Amino acid sequence: MIFYGDDSPIAALATPPGQSALAVIRTSGKNAVELLAERFSAPGKLKTVAGNTIVYGWMLGKDRSRLDETLVSVYRAPKSYTGEDGADISCHGGYAAVQAVLKALHEAGFRDALPGEFTFRAFMNGKLDLTRAESVMEIVSAKTGKARAGAVRRLSGDLEAEIRAVKEKLVRVLAGAELFLDYSEDEYAEADADERSGMLPKRELAREALAELRELAASFRIESLYQEGALAVIAGRPNAGKSSLFNRLVKEDRAIVAESPGTTRDWLEAWIAVEGIPVRLADTAGIRDSSDIVERTGVERSIELIKRADVVLYIVDGTVGLVDEDKQFLHSKEIAGKPLVMVWNKGDVAREMTETPARAERVSAKTGEGVLRLSARIAEALVERNAGMESGRIGVASARQKALVDRAVEQVADALDMADKGKALDIIAPSLKEAVDCLGEITGEVSTADILEVMFSSFCVGK
């Protein structure tokens, strides 16, 4: 079996497979450049060239026949992404060309890279801490500019710096506690009253660290919103304009729009960006009682989707106003406690519409009037649901990071609680030590092989 952690030469396609002008095949590992040179038209030049240099030539088969015209970007340890010798091969992007080059590399002694193995090696060789390693896949999977911007900040080391600053405070508190434990009261005569009574020294510093940790823990919901996105479901009575609004927000005619009620029998969905938030927008069947078994099934599916929604856009026909069916649904258990944005539609049909309820967004799905305001309201509802307005500081973005911050919060809170109750420092210190270890695990200073393998195996091959 192949495991993470060796230095054998590896290769993988780093660009999506398919037809394209160019493809990039990444290599790294022990003697990677020398092995690549065996299947290159200018082997001597490739072996001796300095790092950060591009060499033109042909990839060759076993019989020295030309496979593809390439540019090879050479990197020398330690000044490379992985910290090892390696090269990126730019070849033509056709399937056959890529497979031919990969086959030549396998014959030369390269093996297929495991998912995330290049980034794993970058971490093991000290090129990235774990927060920056995780941000690599965040950038790859970012669906909006805002998600990308947050990932770039983490890749730049902003989160690592935040974690290290909090950890430094806790280390100072722990050091003060352990120093006091190493001396008797007579030898530590200059200690303050709290310390002489066995209570926690530097308690205010511990409280500062706890407040910062709690803020980091709270940041996860808003960061995951921008990374993972949210589900917004369009609901309402038949013919209220749900499909028209769906098409308007998606910016293409995805849903069928017709005058006859009940046209939409099942839900449709599409990804859109709303104020930088990735939103999976769903258009549902009109909510009403129906004797038609197909339409009734569609309504049941719509209600199940509404139950899972992060925000519901309830569409009202503005030329008619709220009717009993609307009121019944708006007070139903399906949307109880969910963020709700009421959309007062069909503003283009009747300017003198029925009175618009407070907080309802007046729009015309047909002309686009009011849609920008509606988008802002959707974003506002999602942000408020996910831990309030943004603080502007960088936050934790993975479930792993969140779990470790939560554990650190728990341990520091326990330590302070024990100190307030007058417990001895030898009982308090282990909680502080565990909190410090949790923060070290976030950045990778404290880690195990199993944890690392699980984390990097979720990466794409080639990264």
pLDDT band of residue 258 (cuts 50, 70, 90) is very low
Per-residue pLDDT, averaged over 288-312, amounts to: 74
User: Burial code of 257-278, b = ≥16 C-beta within 10 A, e = fewer?
Assistant: beeeebbbbebbbbebbbebbb
Is the pLDDT score of 189 beyond 50? no
Mean pLDDT of the chain: 85
Percent residues over pLDDT 90 in the chain: 51
pLDDT given for residue 254 in this prediction? 53
Q: Which of 144-148, 219-223, 356-360 is predicted with the least confidence, judged by mean pLDDT?
A: 356-360
Query: Which residue did the predictor score with more confidence, 305 or 21?
Result: 21
Sheet arrangement for strand 111-112: 53-60, 66-75, 86-92, 22-28, 10-13, 111-112
Given 1.20.120.430, 3.30.465.10, 1.20.120.10, 3.30.70.1380, which CATH number is that of 150-226+398-444? 1.20.120.430
Average pLDDT over residues 145-167: 92
The mean pLDDT value for 183-208 works out to: 61
pLDDT band (50, 70, 90) for residue 196: very low
Condensed to tens digits (0 to 9), the pLDDT of residues 105-137 reads 999 999 999 999 999 999 999 999 999 999 998
Q: Which residues does 433 contact at the CB level (< 8 Å), separation at least 6?
A: 174
Q: In CATH, what is the architecture of 229-385?
A: 3-Layer(aba) Sandwich (3.40)
Mean pLDDT of 427-447: 90
Structure confidence at residue 106 (pLDDT): 97
Query: Which of 83-97, 146-160, 264-278, 370-384 has the weakest average pLDDT?
Result: 264-278
pLDDT at 357: 65
Q: Which fold has domain 10-128?
A: Gyrase A; domain 2 (3.30.1360)
Do the strands 53-60 and 311-317 form a parallel or antiparallel pair, or are they unpaired?
Answer: unpaired
Determine which of 35-44, 119-128, 161-170, 443-452 has the lowest per-residue pLDDT on average.
443-452
Tens digits of residue pLDDT in 398-435: 999 999 999 999 999 999 999 888 888 888 889 999 99
**Same fold: 10-128 with 150-226+398-444:** no
Q: Under DSSP, is residue 267 helix (H, G, I), strand (E, B) or coil?
A: coil
CA-CA distances (angstroms) from residue 418 to 119, 209, 338?
41, 16, 39
User: If pLDDT is split at 50, 70 and 90, which confidence band does 193 have?
Assistant: very low
Report whether pLDDT(143) > 70: yes
Average pLDDT over residues 428-445: 92
User: 89-98, 198-207, 398-407: which has the minimum mean pLDDT?
Assistant: 198-207
pLDDT given at position 291: 52
Q: How confident is the model over 47-70, as a mean pLDDT?
A: 96
Residue type, 394: I
Higher pLDDT residue, 64 or 424?
Answer: 64
Banded model confidence at residue 31, pLDDT cuts 50, 70, 90: very high
Sheet hosting strand 230-236, strand order edge to edge: 268-274, 277-283, 230-236, 311-317, 340-345, 361-362
Contact yes or no for 416/435 (Cβ under 8 A): no
Q: Is 80 exceeded by the pLDDT of residue 195?
A: no
Q: Are 135 and 151 in contact (CB under 8 A)?
A: yes
For the segment 97-109, what is each residue's pLDDT rounded down to a tens digit?
999 999 999 999 9
Query: 0.75 cut: is pTM over it?
Result: yes
For the cut 90, the answer to whether the pLDDT of residue 386 exceeds it is no
* Beta-carbon count within 10 A of 375 CB: 18
The verdict on whether omega for the bond into residue 278 sits within 30 degrees of 0, i.e. cis, is no
Q: Higher confidence at residue 335 or residue 92?
A: 92
> Which residues lie closer than 8 Å to 445 by C-beta, 6 or more apart?
129
Q: Give me the residue spans of the domains in the chain.
A: 10-128, 150-226+398-444, 229-385
pLDDT band at 199 (very low <50, low <70, confident <90, very high): low
Work out the pLDDT band at 261, boundaries 50, 70, 90.
very low
Name the range with the highest mean pLDDT among 72-76, 199-203, 456-460.
Answer: 72-76
Q: Report pLDDT for 176.
A: 79
Residues 38 and 367: their CA atoms lie apart, in Å, by 63
Q: Is pLDDT larger for residue 454 or for residue 462?
A: 462
